[in-house]
Amino acid sequence: MRPIEIVGGGLAGLSLGLALRRAGVPVTLHEAGRYPRHRVCGEFISGLVPGVIERLGLAPALAGALPHVDVAWSVGSGPPRHQTLPRPALALSRHVLDTRLANAFTAAGGDLRTGSRQDAAPRAGRVIATGRPRAGDPVWLGLKAHWSHLRLERPLEMHVGDQAYVGLAQVSEGVNVCGLFRRRPLAGRGAALLVDYVRAAGLQPLAERLAAATCVEESFCAVAALEFGRRPAPPAGIHLGDAAATIPPFTGHGMAMAFEGAAVALAPLVAYAEGRIDWDKAERAVASALRRRFRTRLTWAGLLHPFLLQPRRRRWFEYLHRAHLVPFRPLYAALH
């Protein structure tokens, strides 16, 4: 068998590595960080289909995920509207999920090298799963932390503020609070900074609820300089997960897409490892399968994102929301 090298030990890299090991392929995975660790993430997985869970053998890693169907949507400080998702979203802390996958990969005989940052240049036998690329201009900021003793309106809450949105998800350790914010000159640190951002986005009632509850300070993390959408020109090599395309986080689809991309890449990579096809052919097969699978989702998410974040378009969203006219179910269907 030809070996495969994976650069990036997030969900795409780890789940692919695990599935390749189960197919008997020798795999080395380089991860710049270490496990366990908290990640900036809303921690609910939407749109993950049973076929992908089965093909990648993800069921043990997802054990204990809370299945949520009820969502409360608020725009500004207005009253929430309640929605029911057509299919449950799975809520699970990344601290748990990434660690379980890393342990499963090693137990399956994978060679996991943590603290190993690679150059990520494409080459035969190498899969790039390094997550979202950093944007040159750091306009957006992602912040997240877990809270305890925080009561939720529904197990999932989504709050749309001024150039910001914040998702709350009940996970087994407490409540995950994660937001995407336009950067502002705020000087706080840790969870206090998150609360300041929530307040600056005009989400006063939420800021007060957070300030009155208890934050698990060591779970706080931040990521700056995010950019979304497809890469301007498809990069050479096999890219998976956010490294291939980054869907705006309000969809809750980034994690499902990371897994789905790994599932799509599995057969061509096994064929390459077994010497049945060359690397160029594997690369073309993966690129065209990813394009077919994600094109519609990325287009819809890209169209909707400005209605949540751009002040003028957000007013439209607010108006439709108040009038109960946001077509949640058709939009949900378009994002799948």
Ligand X SMILES: Cc1cc2nc3c(=O)[nH]c(=O)nc-3n(C[C@H](O)[C@H](O)[C@H](O)COP(=O)(O)OP(=O)(O)OC[C@H]3O[C@@H](n4cnc5c(N)ncnc54)[C@H](O)[C@@H]3O)c2cc1C
The residue to which tokens 């608020």 are assigned: 74
Stretch that binds ligand X, among 39-47, 208-216, 231-239, 312-320 (CB under 6 A): 39-47
The binder of ligand X chosen from 4, 6, 9, 266 (CB under 6 A): 9
Sites for ligand X among residues 40-69 (CB under 6 A): 40-45
CB of 146 to ligand X, least distance (A): 14
Smaller CB distance to ligand X: residue 153 or 277? 153
Instruction: Round the CA-based radius of gyration of the chain to a whole number and report it.
Output: 20
Sites for ligand X among residues 227-286 (CB under 6 A): 241-243, 249, 252-256, 258
Could you tell me if 37 and 27 are in contact, meaning their C-beta atoms sit under 8 angstroms apart? no
Give the phi and the psi of residue 79 in degrees, each rounded to 5.
Answer: -70, 150
Extract the tokens encoding 80: 């929430």
Smaller CB distance to ligand X: residue 174 or 252? 252
Smaller CB distance to ligand X: residue 42 or 237? 42
Extract the tokens encoding 251: 């969809």
Stretch that binds ligand X, among 33-41, 272-280, 286-294, 302-310 (CB under 6 A): 33-41
Q: How far apart are CA 70 and CA 231, in angstroms?
A: 33
If binding is defined by CB under 6 A, does position 33 make contact with ligand X? yes
CB of 124 to ligand X, least distance (A): 18
Q: How far apart are CA 226 and CA 60, in angstroms?
A: 31
Q: How far apart are CA 9 and CA 290, in angstroms?
A: 20
- Number of Cβ within 10 Å of residue 330's Cβ equals 9
Query: What residues are paired with 171 via a beta bridge?
Result: 174
Residues within the interface to ligand X (CB under 6 A) = 7-13, 30-33, 40-45, 117-118, 120, 129-131, 142, 167, 178, 180, 223, 226, 241-243, 249, 252-256, 258
